[in-house]
Every structure is written in structure tokens, then in C-alpha cells.
């Protein structure tokens, strides 16, 4: 167990914060999309670097990965990866109410990813008294070969990754994707401070 | 939040505080006006309320025709529906939104100022839409327009260069047909496809007869000319799905997907005949060229694509042994005369 590993209490606390953030984010999304958004309780795993490499290299059928960097105060920063499996992204245009000829498929995936990432992380940041800024989202080219490479070429070394499984169902449309938050060690230490602070308040 | 917002303000007295605030404001304004990034702020009704010098200079528009005007009337080139939705998401979700040149080359028709030739007359842009909420609880959107013409230009060049490299990697420089490596990779794929879908697959191996003599008698330039002319001729005799490659020096190979032995032999005979009828001249001398061809069809027994090459190669050897300028197949009982 590395020193960056979360204790059981910290893990619970984080799960709770993410649940709240996800709940509020989906509420905002429902209003924005002007339709009923059904959200399953997101499943959260924290995985170490090696484990994630293994899981992701098994995920051969990922068709699109959108990456977006985020950074806040107190050294909290990282990169969000939204991983879509085959079929997941087919309904995005319907979901967002775009016309078929409105946007390229790439732009749709980037758009919905950015909305999901930023709504979620904004609410999450509020929970920990922080404020996030974001880099422009980027669609990783040739995902099939490059996801592994991309993870190895990160500008920072990250030791823990938070894997948040999101399942959105929007009225008639169901829509799945995986959100993976890659967080460098400094940020983890800071998140742990914040979690301890919240835990102490109880 | 930028550090400018947190510029120290002396708490000595109201005058000092006001002075500090005034200076901070002046600094902010001057920075905004000297940035090489366009800044445009619109309110919730999408009316322009702030723009910076970068945009003033690049649009050539006058402030009185821009401020207090709808963003869509000032910039009629903007995609109304798309941008309205984008800006709406920023207002409603209070989250930033982005638009990259990779998806949309530019939003605003601004001329680019680069001393380079690019594909577009307009500046390539990365746009960021940021939500801004004031003390009065009013919502605004700040649109940042970054000039990424250089990035776009070099990225496009890079893509072109990579495509060119990928092509060079597949093509034989002299004959402009596929090189050995790409041809062999294609055969590997065609073999797998034929096996999976239980489809026919045939192969022709072709060698120019006594090729060494062209080089010895007329020089290597003559040899090169023969290789180029024969390749060009054979290319015209093939279907689009056939894969023609230079296997070695004067040896060529043709993959024939979904073709049986008789079809392959027919083609081989046509090639043999056309090559021998080729009227080539080098330095005003007639040059006579013939080819020997070995044909094989993928059967039950071959366990690999290499085995198919061996079959066709053995047939080619037989064609040579039986006097050249011939087509031969081990799978066919009689020697095949030139058609």
C-alpha cells in the first residue's frame, strides 16, 4: 500500500463527495437538457497506476477518449479521461438535441465530455472549497493504439487514478461512459488534507 | 482567478484603498488591451459589452458599431444556432466551453497576420467561453479568441509529411508500385481473409528473363527503364483489388483476391504475351523483353501465406526451366504456352 493510498474513512468521504457532486451535476444537466436525467449511483474505484494500465490495455474496444486537464488551488490538479465504448456515443447528438448535420461526430463527443467533466468537477470543487480551471478538451487520436502511450506520456507522474463509472439515462436515451480522473501525488496529498478536514468536522 | 485580482491593497485609509483599486483596474485594462488574444464579453442577451484592442485592430470595426450590439449582428459569420446553444450551456451550467481549430478552423472571420501561406485567409482560432458572474448576480460570458494560425499551419504540414512518409514506406521508388514489405503485409492480410471467409486466393510470381543482360549490354539505366515500363504495363492489366508489388530486383508478384487458378492463369498468360510484345527502345536500339510466370492458387494444404509464395515460386522455377517466356503452374497438368 503506497502512502498515497486512501484510508477506508477517506475513501468513504470521497465517495460521498463524489455522489453529491454527481447528483448536483446531473440535476444541472437535466435542467440544461430540459429532460429527465436518471443517474445511477456512480461506482468509484481508486486504482494505482499499474492497475489502470492493465485495465485500460484490456479495454480494447474503447472507441473514443477525450482528455481534459483541470487545475485548482492548493495543488489540486489532474486530467480527466472520458472513455466511450462502441455504441456509447451514437446517441450523443440526440441527447444534446443537435441536428444530424450540425456537428462532426468528434465535436459532439468533445462537447458532451467537456460538459460532463466541468459540471461534475465544478460541483466537486465547491465541496472542497476550491475552484477549477480547465484546459481545452482534446480527442485523443487513434485511441486503439494510443491510450496506453498517452498514459505514459503524461506531463506529470500520477500514482492514483480515480475511476468514476457514470451511467446517464436521459428519458429515451441511455448513455454510458467512464470518467477516469488521473491525479498526481501532490494533488492526492492535498485532497487527503481536505478529506481529513471534512472528516474532523463530523 | 488571476493574481491580479489579489493585488495587495493597502488598508491605510479609504483614499489609499480607492487608489489601489484604481491602479489595479488600470493594470487589468492595459493587460487586456495588450494581450495577443481577443477578448469579447457578452451579457445573457448576447449583447457585446466589452472588447479589447486585439479585436478592434483585427476586425477593423469601430467601437460604436460593436458595443451594445448583438454578437450575431456584429459578426454575421457566426453559426447562430450552434453558438447560441454553446453560450446557453455556459450560462446555465456555469461551466466553461471550448472550440478548437481542429473541429472548426475559425469562428470569427479575422484575417491572419502571419507571413506564411496557409490554406485559409482567416486566422485559425481556439475559442474559450468562460462564465462570469458579478456581485450583482448578473451573468456574462467572456469569449477568448486565441490566434493559432501557426499551430494549424505546422500541424497541417506535419500531417501532409506523415502521409507522404506513409506512402513512401509502401511504394518502390523506381517502379512506383508496392514495395516488398507492403506487398508481403498485404498478402498476409489477404491470406487471413481468404481463410476466414473461405474465399479463393491466387498468386502470380513473375521474373524478367535474362534481365542481367540488359544491365550488362546497355547499362543499368536500360535495366531501370525496362523495370519501369514492364511495371507500368502490368499495372494497366490488373483489377483495382489486385495487389502488385516488386518482390526483388527483377521479380514481381501479384496477389489476386477471390480468383481461382484458371482466372489467374488467364491473366498470367495475358501478361506474358503483352510483355513479350512490348516494343521498347533504348538509345535507338530495340530492346526485347520476356517474362516467366509461376501461378498458384491457395489450397487446403497451405498452412501459411509463405507456403503459397513457395508454391508460386516453384512454378516460376519450372517456367524458367522449361525455356522461359512461359506460364507454369504445379496445380495444372500441362505446361501452358504463351497465349
Lowest mean pLDDT among A89-98, B177-186, B312-321: A89-98
Rounded Cα–Cα distance for residues B71 and B83 (Å): 10
Q: Which CATH class is domain B35-155?
A: alpha beta
Distance CA B251, CA B236 (A): 18
Give the gap in angstroms from C-alpha B141 to the nearest C-alpha of chain A: 15
Q: State yes or no: pLDDT of B185 exceeds 90.
A: yes
Write down the pLDDT at residue B4: 47
3-state secondary structure labels for all residues of A132-155: CEECCCEECCCHHHHHHHHHHCCC
Tell me: pLDDT of A75 over 90.
Answer: no
pLDDT for residue B23? 93
Q: Report the percent of chain B where pLDDT is more than 90.
A: 70
Region B236-254: mean pLDDT is 95
- B-chain residues near A31 (CB < 8 A): 92
Q: Does A137 touch chain B (CB under 8 A)?
A: yes
Beta carbons of A28 and B1 less than 8 Å apart:
no
Span A78-127, pLDDT tens digits: 888 888 776 666 666 666 666 655 567 788 888 888 988 898 899 889 88
**Confidence (pLDDT) at A9:** 87
Statement: residue B73 has pLDDT above 50: yes
B104 interfaces chain A, CB cutoff of 8 Å: yes
What would the mean pLDDT of B120-127 be, rounded to a whole number? Answer: 89
Residues 6+ apart with CB under 8 A from B218: B282, B283, B285, B287
CA distance A188 to A46: 11
| Residues of chain A with C-beta less than 8 angstroms from the C-beta of B124 | none
Helix axis angle, A8-33 relative to A105-127, nearest 10°?
130
Q: Given pLDDT bands bounded at 50, 70 and 90, which one contains residue A13?
A: confident
CA-CA distance, A79 to B208, in Å (whole number)?
Answer: 60
Q: What is residue B115's predicted lDDT score, i.e. its pLDDT?
A: 63
Residue to mutate among B89, B155, B166, with most A CBs inside 10 A, is: B89
Cell of A134: 480547465
- pLDDT value at residue A129: 84
* Cβ neighbours of A119 in B, within 8 Å: 93, 95
* β-sheet with B48-51: strand ranges across: B48-51, B37-43, B139-147, B125-133, B97-99
Region of poorest pLDDT, from A23-37, B292-306, B309-323: A23-37
Question: What is the predicted pLDDT for the residue at A167?
Answer: 67
Confidence grade of residue B307 (pLDDT, cut at 50, 70, 90): very high
So what's the pLDDT on residue B338? 47
pLDDT category at B223 given cuts 50, 70, 90 is very high
* Residue B167 to chain A, least CA–CA distance (Å): 19
Given a cut of 90, whether residue A31 has pLDDT beyond it is no
Digit-coded pLDDT (tens) for B139-155: 999 999 999 988 888 88
- Is the pLDDT score of B96 beyond 60? yes
The ranges of chain B annotated as CATH 3.30.70.270 are 171-328
Tens-place pLDDT, residues A168-189: 666 666 666 778 888 777 777 8
**Rounded to whole angstroms, what are the CA distances from B5 to A134, A183, B139, B157, B283?**
19, 28, 19, 41, 82
Does the structure show a pLDDT above 70 at B56? yes
CB contact under 8 A, A28 and B92: yes
Instruction: Compute the CA torsion angle B299, B304, B308, B314 (nearest 10 deg).
Output: -120
8 Å CB contact of A107 and B103: yes
Q: Quickly count: other Cβ atoms within 10 Å of residue B30's Cβ.
A: 11
Contact criterion met (CB below 8 Å) for A17 and A128: yes
Question: In the predicted model, what is the mean pLDDT of chain A?
Answer: 76
More confident residue, A153 or B66: B66
Residue B284: CB atoms within 10 A of its CB come to: 5
Domains of chain A: 8-201 (3.40.1550.10)
What is the distance between the alpha carbons of residues B29 and B139, in angstroms, rounded to a whole number?
A: 20
Chain A from 29 to 88: CB within 8 A of any B CB: 29, 31-32
**pLDDT for position A127:** 84
Nearest Cα of chain B lies from the Cα of A50 at a distance, in angstroms, of 32
Q: Between A172 and B157, whose confidence is greater? A: B157
pLDDT tier, A2 (very low <50, low <70, confident <90, very high otherwise): low
- Per the CB < 8 Å rule, is B126 touching A134? no
The gap from C-alpha A89 to its chain's centroid, in whole angstroms, comes to: 16
User: pLDDT band at residue B339, thresholds of 50, 70 and 90?
Assistant: very low
Give the closest-approach CA distance of A75 to chain B in angstroms. Answer: 14
The C-alpha of A28 sits at a distance from chain B's nearest C-alpha, in angstroms, of 6
> Where, residue-wise, is CATH 3.30.450.20 in chain B?
35-155
Q: Is A103 on the interface with B (CB under 8 A)?
A: yes
Are residues B93 and A29, on separate chains, in Cβ contact within 8 Å?
Answer: yes
CB contact under 8 A, B93 and A118: yes
- The verdict on a CB contact (< 8 Å) between B95 and A115 is yes
Q: Which of B12-26, B83-97, B224-238 has the lowest mean pLDDT?
A: B12-26
* Second-level CATH architecture of B171-328: 2-Layer Sandwich (3.30)
**Burial track B286-318 (b if 16+ CB lie within 10 A, e otherwise):** ebebbbbbbbbbbeeebeebeebbebbbbbbbb
Amino acid at each position: 500500500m503506497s502512502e498515497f493510498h486512501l484510508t477506508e474513512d477517506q475513501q468513504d468521504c470521497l465517495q460521498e463527495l463524489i455522489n453529491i457532486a454527481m447528483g448536483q451535476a446531473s440535476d444541472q444537466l437535466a435542467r440544461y437538457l430540459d429532460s429527465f436525467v436518471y443517474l445511477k449511483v456512480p461506482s468509484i474505484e481508486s486504482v494505482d497506476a499499474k492497475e489502470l494500465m492493465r485495465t485500460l490495455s484490456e479495454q480494447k474496444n474503447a472507441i473514443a477518449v477525450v482528455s481534459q486537464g483541470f487545475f485548482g488551488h492548493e495543488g489540486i490538479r489532474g486530467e480527466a479521461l472520458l472513455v466511450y465504448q462502441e455504441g456509447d456515443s451514437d446517441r450523443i447528438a440526440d441527447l444534446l438535441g443537435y441536428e444530424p448535420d450540425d456537428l462532426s461526430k468528434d465535436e459532439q463527443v468533445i462537447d458532451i465530455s467537456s460538459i460532463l467533466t466541468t459540471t461534475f468537477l465544478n460541483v466537486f470543487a465547491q465541496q472542497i472549497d476550491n475552484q477549477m480551471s480547465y484546459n481545452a478538451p482534446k480527442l485523443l487520436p487513434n485511441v486503439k493504439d494510443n491510450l496506453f502511450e498517452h498514459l505514459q506520456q503524461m506531463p506529470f507522474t500520477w500514482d492514483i487514478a480515480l475511476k468514476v463509472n457514470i451511467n446517464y439515462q436521459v428519458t429515451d436515451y441511455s448513455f454510458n461512459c467512464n470518467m477516469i480522473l488521473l491525479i498526481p501525488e501532490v494533488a492526492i496529498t492535498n485532497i487527503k488534507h481536505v478529506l481529513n478536514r471534512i472528516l474532523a468536522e463530523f | 482567478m488571476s493574481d491580479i485580482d489579489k493585488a495587495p491593497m493597502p488598508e491605510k485609509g479609504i483614499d489609499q484603498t480607492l487608489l489601489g483599486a484604481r491602479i489595479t483596474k488600470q493594470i487589468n485594462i492595459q493587460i487586456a488591451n495588450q494581450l495577443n488574444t481577443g477578448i469579447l464579453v457578452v451579457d445573457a442577451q448576447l449583447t457585446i459589452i466589452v472588447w479589447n484592442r486585439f479585436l478592434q485592430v483585427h476586425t477593423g470595426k469601430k467601437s460604436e458599431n460593436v458595443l451594445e450590439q448583438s454578437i450575431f449582428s456584429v459578426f454575421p459569420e457566426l453559426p447562430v444556432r450552434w453558438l447560441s446553444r454553446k453560450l446557453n450551456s455556459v450560462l446555465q451550467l456555469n461551466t466553461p466551453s471550448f472550440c478548437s481549430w481542429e473541429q472548426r478552423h475559425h469562428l470569427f472571420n479575422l484575417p491572419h497576420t502571419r507571413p506564411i501561406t496557409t490554406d485559409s485567409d482567416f486566422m485559425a482560432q481556439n475559442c474559450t467561453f468562460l462564465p462570469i458572474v458579478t456581485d450583482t448576480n448578473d451573468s456574462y460570458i467572456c469569449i477568448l479568441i486565441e490566434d493559432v494560425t501557426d499551430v494549424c499551419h505546422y500541424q497541417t504540414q506535419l500531417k501532409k509529411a506523415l502521409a507522404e512518409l506513409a506512402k513512401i514506406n509502401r511504394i518502390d521508388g523506381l517502379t512506383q508500385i508496392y514495395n516488398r514489405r507492403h506487398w508481403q503485409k498485404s498478402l498476409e492480410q489477404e491470406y487471413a481473409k481468404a481463410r476466414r471467409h473461405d474465399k479463393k486466393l491466387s498468386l502470380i510470381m513473375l521474373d524478367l528473363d535474362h534481365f542481367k543482360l540488359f544491365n550488362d549490354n546497355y547499362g543499368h539505366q536500360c535495366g531501370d527503364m525496362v523495370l519501369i515500363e514492364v511495371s507500368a504495363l502490368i499495372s494497366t492489366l490488373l483489377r483495382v483489388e489486385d495487389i502488385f508489388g516488386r518482390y526483388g530486383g527483377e521479380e514481381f508478384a501479384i496477389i489476386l483476391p477471390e480468383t481461382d487458378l484458371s482466372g489467374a492463369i488467364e491473366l498470367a498468360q495475358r501478361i506474358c504475351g503483352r510483355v513479350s510484345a512490348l516494343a521498347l527502345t533504348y538509345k535507338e536500339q530495340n530492346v526485347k523483353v520476356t517474362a516467366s510466370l509461376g501461378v498458384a492458387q491457395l489450397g487446403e494444404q497451405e498452412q501459411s501465406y509463405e507456403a503459397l509464395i513457395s508454391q508460386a515460386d516453384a512454378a516460376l522455377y519450372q517456367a524458367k526451366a522449361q525455356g522461359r517466356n512461359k506460364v507454369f503452374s504445379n496445380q495444372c497438368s500441362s505446361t501452358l504456352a504463351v497465349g
